[in-house]
Chains A and B, each alone.
Chain A
Amino acid sequence: MHRRGGLSPRAREEIAGWLWTSPWLLGFLLFFFGPMVASLYLSFTKYAIGGTPQVIGLDNFVRALSGKDDLFWPSMGRTVEYAFVMVPIGIGLSLLAATLLNQGLKGTAVFRTLFFLPSLTPVVAAAVIWRWLYQPDFGAINWLLWQLGVDEGPRWLTTPDLALPSLMLIALWASVGGGAMVIFLAGLQSVPRELHDAAAIDGANAWQRFRNVTLPLITPTIFFNLVIGIIAALKVFALAVLATQGGPNYATWFFNLHLYNNAFQFFEMGYASALAWIFFLLVVSLTLLNVRWSRNWVHYEGEERA
C-alpha cells in the first residue's frame, strides 16, 4: 500500500471522514446552528427589518408568556389541540389502512396507490380543492348533505367552531394514506408469519391475533410515526394561511401563523424570534417526553437500532 505524504491509514481515514461529511457540516453550521444562535440573540431584542436591533432583555418572553400578547396562549392552545386530536386519529387510521392493505386482497397495489395519492398533493393544490369542496353554496360536501336531506349545509370555513375540524379533515385526508401508512405496512410485513400461524392454531381469532401478536411487535413503528407525526402537526401553517387565513375569529390562528404574522406582517422580528424559541423548546420537550414514555410500551426485538 502506498503511503502518501507520510500519513497513516488511520489518519487518512479520519481526514476522509471529515472531508466527506464537510458539506453537511458546513450546511449545519450555516443553516442551522448559526441561525439558531442568531435567533436566540434576536429573541432578546426589538428589531424591525430596516432598523437596528435593540437589546431589551427578557421583555419578549415576558410579553408572550404573561399573556400580554393575547394571541399567544390561544394560538398555542389551538396548535396543541390540533396536534393532539389529529395525530392519534391519523395514526389509528393509517394503521387501519395499512392493515387493510396487508390482507392480501386482490388489487392491493392499486388500492395502495389510490390511498397514497393525496399525500403527494402539494398543500396549495389541496387547499384550493378543499376550499371549493367546503363552499357552502356550491360545494360538493354541502351538496352531499343536501342529498341526504340537510337543506342548509353549514358554512364550514367561516363558522368559528367548524373551521378547525374542517382543517383537520383536510390534513387527515392528505396524511392518512401517506408515509405513515407505508411505514406501518413495512412494519406489519416484518411480523413473522409463524407467530400468526401459531396464534391461529391456539385458537386466537383475527382481533386477538392483532392485539397480542401484531401490535406489540409494531410498537417501534407506532412510536416513530407518533414522534414524527406530532412534530409535523405542531408545525401546521400553510393550510391555515391558504384556507382560512387564521380565522374565523382566530379559530385557526396556529402558532406558526402567529409567528409568521409577527415577523413578516407586523415587522417585529425580535418578538417573533422569541416565539420561535419557545416553540422549539416545546417541540424538544414533547419529543423527549415521548421518548421517555415510550419505554413503557415500546417493545424492541433484539437490539435497539440507531
Chain B
Amino acid sequence: MSAAQSLSTLARFRTPEQVRARWAWYAGRGILYALAALGAILFMGPFLFAISGSLKSAAEMHVFPPPLLPAQPAFGNYARLFDIPGVYFAKWYLNSIIITCASVLGTVVSACAAAYGFSRFRWRLRDFFFIVLLSTLVLPEEVVIIPKFLMFHYVPQALFGHTWIDTWWPLIVPSWFGGGAFSVFLMRQFFLQIPRDLDEAAIIDGANSWQILRHILLPLAQPALATVAIFSFLTHWNDFFHPLIYLSTVESFPLSVGLRWFQQAANDPSEPRDHLLMAASMLMVLPCVLIFFTMQRYFVRGIVMSGIKG
C-alpha cells in the first residue's frame, strides 16, 4: 500500500471519542449557523414586512390576518408618493441630499484641518484642547439647542437683516467648523499613524504645511476620509432633531421631518397612507444602504485603525 492509502486506512479506524468530538463539532457549528440565521431574520424581518407593506394596496393593509404577499404588487405606490398634493416627497428627498452633501463636505474638510492641527504640530494648549474635544462627545445637544436657536435667529438678523431660522444654514454651517468631535478624533488617530519621515522629507524640499497635507497625508488617508464621510452622511441623513427645531416651512423639510409630517399632519386627511408610508420609509433607507454597500470595506477598516477598540 502507498503512504496515502495506508493513512486513509488508518483514518477509518477512529476512536469513539474522536467520532463523538467530530459530531459535537458539527453540532456546534450547526447551532452557530442557526443563531446567525435567527439573527439575520430578526434584523431583516421588519424590513421585509415594510417592503411587503409598501407593495400592498390601502385595503390590504387593514386586513387580518395580514397577507404576507400582496395580491398584486402595487409598484405604483412608489410613484404615487411623488404625486400627493401637499406631500412634497421629491423636494424633501432633494433637500436631504443637498443638506447632507453640504454637511458631509464641511465635515470632511474641517475635520481634516483640525486633525492635522492636533496631530502634526506642537502648540501650546494642544493637549488641553484635545481633552476638550473629547469631552464634547459627552455633551448632549439639548443643553445648547436653545441658545443656538436664539443665536441663529438674532445674530443673522443683526448682521444680514434676516433670520436663519427656517433656512438650512443652521443645519449646514456648524459642520464646516470642525464637523463634530468624532470625525476629528478619527482623522487625528489616522494621521498619527502616518510616519513623519515623509513630512520631514517634504519640509527639506521646502514644502509648507498645506502642501504636506495635500500631497502626503491626504492621499494616504483615503480610508479614513471615506469612513468620516460615511459616518457623517449617516448622521446628517438621519438627523431628525435639528431640522425639527430649525425648520417650519413644509417644502424645506428634509426627508426625516417630511416623513414625520406625512405621517401625522399631511394635507389631505382622506388619503390612505399606511402603505405609502412603508414605501417612503424604504426610499429613505435606500441611500444609506447603497452608501454602506459601496464603502463597506473602508468602514470596518476605519474603525479598526482609529484604535477605538483599545
Q: Which residues of A contact B (CB under 8 A)?
A: 1-2, 13-14, 16-28, 30-32, 34-36, 38-39, 42, 49, 97, 100-101, 103, 105, 107, 111, 113-118, 120-126, 128-130, 132-133, 137-140, 143, 146, 173, 176-177, 179, 182-187, 189-190, 206, 218, 220-221, 224, 228, 231, 234-235, 237-238, 242, 256, 259-260, 263-264, 269, 272-273, 276-277, 279-280, 283-284, 287, 300-301, 305-306
* CB of A97 to closest CB in B, whole Å: 6
A140 to B241, CA, bound (A): 29
Q: Please, which residues of chain A bring their CB within 8 A of the CB of B288?
A: 120-122
B43 within 8 A of A: yes
Q: Please, which residues of chain A bring their CB within 8 A of the CB of B145?
A: 35, 263, 276
Q: Using known A-B contacts A122-B238, A143-B65, determine if residue A17 contacts B310 with beta carbons closer than 8 Å.
A: no
As a 0/1 sequence over residues 284 to 308 of chain B, the CB contacts with chain A under 8 angstroms (1 = contact) are 1100110011001001100110011
Q: Are A32 and B136 in contact (CB under 8 A)?
A: yes
Q: Are A24 and B140 in contact (CB under 8 A)?
A: no
B237 within 8 A of A: yes
Q: Are A24 and B133 in contact (CB under 8 A)?
A: yes
Chain A residue, CB-CB nearest to B138:
A287
Q: Please, which residues of chain A bring their CB within 8 A of the CB of B281?
A: 124-125, 128-129
Q: Which 8 pairs between the two chains have the least Cβ-Cβ distance?
A: A27-B177, A17-B121, A17-B123, A21-B117, A24-B178, A20-B117, A24-B114, A38-B147
Chain A residue, CB-CB nearest to B170:
A31
Chain B residue, CB-CB nearest to A218:
B309
Q: Are A273 and B146 in contact (CB under 8 A)?
A: yes
B63 within 8 A of A: yes
Q: Please, which residues of chain B bring their CB within 8 A of the CB of A125?
A: 259, 280-282, 284-285
Interface majority SS (helix, strand, loop, mixed), chain B: helix
As a 0/1 sequence over residues 156 to 184 of chain B, the CB contacts with chain A under 8 angstroms (1 = contact) are 00000000000000000010111100001
* CB of B233 to closest CB in A, whole Å: 10
Q: Please, which residues of chain B bring their CB within 8 A of the CB of A30?
A: 151, 177
Q: Using known A-B contacts A23-B176, A120-B234, A284-B138, determine if residue A17 contacts B259 with beta carbons closer than 8 Å.
A: no
Q: Are A276 and B49 in contact (CB under 8 A)?
A: no
* CB of B105 to closest CB in A, whole Å: 13
Q: Are A123 and B116 in contact (CB under 8 A)?
A: no
Q: Are B310 and A187 in contact (CB under 8 A)?
A: yes
Q: Using known A-B contacts A23-B177, A103-B32, determine if residue A264 contacts B245 with beta carbons closer than 8 Å.
A: yes
A106 to B39, CA, bound (A): 15
Q: Are A132 and B146 in contact (CB under 8 A)?
A: no
Q: Please, which residues of chain B bring their CB within 8 A of the CB of A305?
A: 307, 310
Q: Are A121 and B285 in contact (CB under 8 A)?
A: yes
A42 to B289, CA, bound (A): 42
Choose the segment among B11-19, B77-85, B124-132 that binds chain A (4+ C-beta atoms closer than 8 Å).
B124-132
Q: Using known A-B contacts A27-B178, A269-B146, determine if residue A122 contacts B114 with beta carbons closer than 8 Å.
A: no
Q: Which of B133-148 contact A (CB under 8 A)?
A: 133, 136-148
Chain B residue, CB-CB nearest to A302:
B310
Q: Are A100 and B146 in contact (CB under 8 A)?
A: no
* CB of B167 to closest CB in A, whole Å: 17
Q: Using known A-B contacts A13-B121, A129-B46, determine if residue A20 contacts B113 with beta carbons closer than 8 Å.
A: yes
Q: Please, which residues of chain A bring their CB within 8 A of the CB of B136?
A: 28, 32
Q: Are B46 and A100 in contact (CB under 8 A)?
A: no
15 extra A-B contacts, CB within 8 A, seeds A129-B278, A183-B309: A1-B206, A24-B111, A24-B114, A27-B174, A27-B176, A39-B143, A124-B281, A124-B284, A129-B281, A138-B61, A138-B62, A182-B303, A186-B300, A186-B309, A235-B140
* CB of A189 to closest CB in B, whole Å: 8
Q: Please, which residues of chain A bring their CB within 8 A of the CB of B260?
A: 124, 242
Interchain Cβ contacts within 8 Å, total number: 289
Q: Are A138 and B66 in contact (CB under 8 A)?
A: yes
Q: Using known A-B contacts A27-B174, A42-B146, A183-B303, determine if residue A32 contacts B139 with beta carbons closer than 8 Å.
A: yes
Q: Please, which residues of chain B bring their CB within 8 A of the CB of A276?
A: 140, 142-146
As a 0/1 sequence over residues 243 to 255 of chain B, the CB contacts with chain A under 8 angstroms (1 = contact) are 0010000000001
Q: Which of B39, B61, B132 is within 8 Å of A28, CB to CB?
A: B132
B40 within 8 A of A: yes
* CB of B255 to closest CB in A, whole Å: 8
A39 to B144, CA, bound (A): 6
Q: Please, which residues of chain A bring their CB within 8 A of the CB of B177?
A: 23-24, 26-28, 30-31
A114 to B66, CA, bound (A): 25
Q: Please, which residues of chain B bring their CB within 8 A of the CB of A287?
A: 138
Q: Are B43 and A143 in contact (CB under 8 A)?
A: no
Q: Please, which residues of chain A bring their CB within 8 A of the CB of B277?
A: 128, 132
* CB of B108 to closest CB in A, whole Å: 12
Q: Please, which residues of chain B bring their CB within 8 A of the CB of A177?
A: 39, 43
Q: Are B43 and A173 in contact (CB under 8 A)?
A: yes
Q: Please, which residues of chain A bring their CB within 8 A of the CB of B240?
A: 122-124, 238, 242
Q: Which of B28, B147, B296 is within 8 Å of A42, CB to CB?
A: B147
A191 to B1, CA, bound (A): 45
* CB of B143 to closest CB in A, whole Å: 4
Q: Which of B113, B148, B308 is within 8 Å of A21, CB to CB?
A: B113
Q: Are A23 and B113 in contact (CB under 8 A)?
A: yes
